[in-house]
Amino acid sequence: MYCNNCGKANPDDARLCAYCGTSLAGGVVVERKLVRPRSGRRIAGVCAGLAQYYGWNVTALRVIWLLLLLFGGTGGLLYLILWIVMPNEG
């Protein structure tokens, strides 16, 4: 079950969110969507969207992406594909 307040995953039988302490009563499940957010973008929002979806640090993800681009060469192609595939938020 996902917390409506912070979006983190919790056990199905939890009554309170283990991360923010919000009540999980009612069993409402929030569906996470992989989207490019309108705020926090640098180029197209791909890194910001991935970081938001998986709960990762966006700066660390951008550094990893830059290293993939410089040393592996696949970072640029993967970024372009995700830019096309990932919808904008809203």
pLDDT reported for residue 25: 67
Residues 80 and 53 both lie in one domain: yes
Using CA atoms of 44, 47, 48, 52 in order, give the dihedral in degrees to the nearest 10. 140
Report the domain count for the chain.
2
Residues 50 and 81 both lie in one domain: yes
Rounded distance between C-alpha atoms, residue 9 and residue 18, angstroms: 9
Residues 17 and 38 both lie in one domain: no
pLDDT reported for residue 30: 59
Enclosing domain of residue 39: 33-90
pLDDT reported for residue 84: 93
The separation between the first and the last C-alpha atoms of the chain, rounded to the nearest angstrom, is 23
Residues 39 and 82 both lie in one domain: yes
Residues of the chain with pLDDT under 70: 1, 25-31
Which of helix, strand or coil describes residue 80?
A: helix
